[in-house]
Amino acid sequence: MRDRFASRAVVALLFAGAMVLAPPAAAQEVQRGFGAVLRGLDKFAGEATDIELRPGESAGLGTLTITLDECRYPVANPASDAFAHLTIRDGEQGPPLFDGWMIASSPALNALDHARYDVWVLRCITS
């Protein structure tokens, strides 16, 4: 358990360091989306499901409850690098299994750690 939190802390520090050290020209203007399209995978059944959510909405994937807080995308290229803030719980109660940002172009960077299900961001809904 401690290793999982340590690895997330390392990823967060690397991401924050990259943001601080990035030259100003590399900064992109981002826009908030009207929602997000996610893909969920039941690894046991081998079934993939696309989930469309608006901010504040929740959807189920097996025993998981997925809530979209926000989705953002680069204005210059809406089809790339969308990132969404998700809260994922196993059931309705208890602490979240995942509470953070997922990046569409790098789903493994900050991934849900679950034995049966995978969830990742495909894109933001732009209109």
Structure tokens at 115: 């034995």
**24: DSSP letter:** G
Give the CA distances from residue 97 to residues 36, 51, 76, 89, in Å, rounded to whole numbers and listed in that order: 19, 18, 33, 5
Convert the pLDDT of each residue in 103-115 to its tens digit: 998 888 888 889 9
Taking 90 as the threshold, does the pLDDT of residue 100 lie above it?
yes
Q: What is the pTM of this model?
A: 0.75
Convert the pLDDT of each residue in 28-81 to its tens digit: 799 999 999 999 999 999 999 999 999 999 999 999 999 999 999 998 877 778
Contact partners, residue 90, CB within 8 Å, separation at least 6: 63, 64, 65, 97, 114
Convert the pLDDT of each residue in 12-26 to its tens digit: 554 554 444 444 445
Parse the chain into domains and list their residue ranges.
29-125
Give the CA distances from residue 73 to residues 61, 81, 88, 99, 121, in Å, rounded to whole numbers and listed in that order: 24, 6, 21, 19, 12
